Chain A
């Protein structure tokens, strides 16, 4: 299997990472060599194997649905690249 330039561009779109043409070619090469290495898994028959979804053999715990933090609005907003009063600002999304 080979990953072509078109696929790389599609994945970059899905990943929300803009990609220059030149870098896309290099990335396609890298990904092909990595996937060549990954294809080794096809040697194994795994039809009857249960997938391992969590190494910690416990069911996830529930927590009480309670607010545990105090007023942290200021703290949360402090790191935002652009804010307006109590809001995070993003480029216009509705016309």
Chain B
């Protein structure tokens, strides 16, 4: 029989429901593999003992009607977990133990999921390579010294290495889709307002969304069904009728119109990305989709807009870390001195940089020139998508302009790091659902992803297209376990 840890979530649930595998056996397998995988540095906080205990409790009193019956799941360390340390990858929250649970994780536990541990991420989710984490770099299981993407880099690495059957990440500018693309896995960012932001450490509130990461498309549909919910505790949560994403999943996408935006052919895009995209278009046609050329004229302005909006919101959100009620405190002679020293020691370089940019663009005399301007351009970017969706049902693009890069390769040049998110950022600015699926390999044999972007609240179509294309692409990660002890 296949090893438990390499089963898909769907298969694992099936085996548990058929009593072929117990929850405790599953928990033991994932804990054991995780313990032998410390070299990847995926976990910030382990919850192994508790997970084993809870899995036994599940087996003693199983409920197979639940959607995640006794399934161990590790989550990004940006979700507050009651009584379990939550760091957001930052020194300033090194000792923070929340007294409440995020809605998204609560939804998972309510359906029978069991917390395996908290996964490494870029500090406050600010990064595209997991290199800004206070808890160190994460290795990509695909190859040694390769970044796993970011900010949900611990999540993508743990998933690709079979340390967790599925996981959840958060995506502000690509933080689910880019790491999924870098690790040959599937990552879905839902429509803004689908998954509650309650209890997620805030980065940029108008952009942040939680979403599933999984080994295949079906697993993402199962997890999305669990985590997507209307929540009164999040003032921007939207009350719309959510599908039963997994039972409504179909490969029949005949006649669906898929747009190909010409502006995504960016200057200097490697030939292999261009080829991947062309192949993707052929796959989509094979699946029965109709391909239509479209234009998203303001694509080139998305990244500059994002690098005003996101830091502005971050500077405001991170003002709460003052060393008074929780988190790190450095000693100072006066209150202000204490604040300044706490924040200087508590935050890493990238976070400080973004707080400073945000503070600057919101400061007196510059607000209109930067923040207001960016909000106006954001409107134009959203309108581009609105116009496109008069003609098409979904949009197909590459997920990233390159495959995973080496650790250290881009960490000294913020702008080149930011360019990683060129294809994912517009989706956040417009609040749309987007998925990345593995679709091929580059010359080094590193995975490459394709992105499918949908209409607001139409995760089902996005999933269906991905599900259909996934079958045609037939991508399989070949992981060699090189890190195992």
Contact = CB atoms under 8 A, between A and B. Distances in A.
B328 interface: yes
B352 interface: yes
Nearest to A72: B99
B356 A8 contact: yes
Given A34-B415, A81-B327, A44 B232 contact: no
Contact of A80 (B235, B298, B325, B341): B325
A81 B338 CA distance: 12
A85 B232 CA distance: 33
B195 to A, nearest CB: 13
A17 B206 contact: no
A12 B356 contact: yes
A45 B238 CA distance: 32
- Chain A contact residues: helix, strand, loop or mixed: loop
B303 interface: yes
B340 interface: yes
B324 A15 contact: no
Contact of B192 (A3, A55, A82): A55
A33 interface: yes
Contacts of A38: 304, 307-308, 370
Interface in A5-61: 7-8, 11-12, 14-19, 27, 30-31, 33-35, 37-44, 46, 49-56, 58, 60-61
B430 A55 contact: yes
A38 B380 CA distance: 16
Nearest to A15: B359
A66 interface: no
B329 A82 contact: yes
| Interface size of A as a range | 35 or more
A78 B415 contact: no
Interface residues of B, number: 67
A10 to B, nearest CB: 8
B373 A40 contact: no
Contacts of B453: none
Contacts of A84: none
B423 interface: no
Contacts of B429: 55
A49 B380 contact: yes
Contact of B377 (A11, A12, A41, A63): A41
Task: Tell which of A14, A17, A54, A56 has the most Cβ of chain B within 10 Å.
Answer: A17
Contacts of A67: none
Nearest to A46: B376
A80 B235 CA distance: 27
Interface of A: 3, 7-8, 11-12, 14-19, 27, 30-31, 33-35, 37-44, 46, 49-56, 58, 60-61, 63, 72, 75-76, 78-82, 88, 90-93
9 contacts: A11-B356, A17-B340, A17-B352, A27-B352, A27-B353, A50-B376, A55-B206, A60-B236, A80-B325
Q: Which 9 A-B pairs have the closest CB atoms?
A: A51-B375, A55-B431, A79-B326, A81-B329, A75-B99, A18-B340, A46-B376, A52-B379, A49-B376
